[in-house]
Structure 1
Amino acid sequence: MKPVILNFPKIQDPRGNLTFMQFPNQIPFEIQRVFWTYDVPGGEIRGGHAYYEQKEIIVAISGSFDVVVTNADGSTEKFSLNRSYYGLYLPAQTWRHIENFSTNSLSLHISSETFSKEDYIRDFKEFKILKNV
């Protein structure tokens, strides 16, 4: 499977909108971990890795940022996230980094696995070997 934008329900109300996600209707895995990044200084880049097993959804809860997916052949695809009612699904073994954070942006990460440093692929050469390139 390839990275894809998931649209979440948006319940509009004059008092403020509400969006939710739950397994299995809106997300393709059971949630094992949730984390968020914030206060990212201007010009910084987050990520720069892939996971062996973990699947992930990234949502821009506030502000905006770009998720850049790099394929094993070096080609890239950029996903600009700037709405809290959709998120980017990243299957396991997807190399990514996040850049171009707006002021006060907040990225929410929903993961299929609990944290394990052994699940990280931090060397792009290793990633290419895994993908047979």
Structure 2
Amino acid sequence: MQKPHLIEFPKLGASDIGYISVGEANGLIPFSVERTFWTYFTPESIVRGRHAHHATEQVLVAVAGRIIVTTEMPDGEIQTFVLESPHVGVYVPPNAWHTMQYSHTAVQLVFASTRYNEQDYIRQYENFRQVWGQQ
């Protein structure tokens, strides 16, 4: 079972001309991307996420601002990742409960391994613990 971990994308360019970072399936992104979405203008007092997925894998990137991502695995292991560089993302595997808190200027880009399917979501923490055998 994969665990959440940071992914550092190439940072190509220089300060005088700007930078580009690239992520490709079967490269640094460990899955084929089926869906891409982004969040922005999220108030700092809001905690988003608060769910896990049965099957979906994701890579989260703060393309602007700062995002604090907290993950919890079925065995209870909790990790916190601070994303504040647009060339660094965090891999979130299926079965990882995760939350995100944003600076007001944060823009989060998400690469997902599946298309949206409400049945893939575990939205109640108690259900997450039951599904993964940690009652």
TM-score w.r.t. the length of structure 1 is: 0.93
Equivalent in the alignment of 2:117: 116
Equivalent in the alignment of 2:26: 24
State the alpha-carbon separation in 1 of the partners of residues 73 and 24 from structure 2: 29
Could you list the runs of 5+ residues in structure 1 that have no partner in the other structure?
none
- Establish whether residue 127 from structure 1 lines up as the match of residue 113 from structure 2: no
Equivalent in the alignment of 1:54: 56
Deviation at 1:72, TM superposition (A): 3.7
Deviation at 1:70, TM superposition (A): 2.3
Q: Runs of 4+ in structure 1 displaced over 4 angstroms?
A: none
Q: What is the RMSD of the two structures over their aligned residues, measured on CA atoms?
A: 1.2
Moved more, 48-57 or 18-27: 18-27
SS at match of 2:39: strand
Equivalent in the alignment of 2:36: 34
State the alpha-carbon separation in 1 of the partners of residues 125 and 32 from structure 2: 28
State the alpha-carbon separation in 1 of the partners of residues 43 and 26 from structure 2: 35
Moved more, 73-82 or 11-20: 73-82
State the alpha-carbon separation in 1 of the partners of residues 76 and 32 from structure 2: 31
Equivalent in the alignment of 1:3: 4
SS at match of 1:17: strand
Q: Which amino acid aligns with 1:128?
A: R
SS at match of 1:84: coil
Deviation at 1:125, TM superposition (A): 1.5
Give CA-to-partner distance per residue, 1:14-36, whole Å, 9 cap, x none: 31011110011111100000001
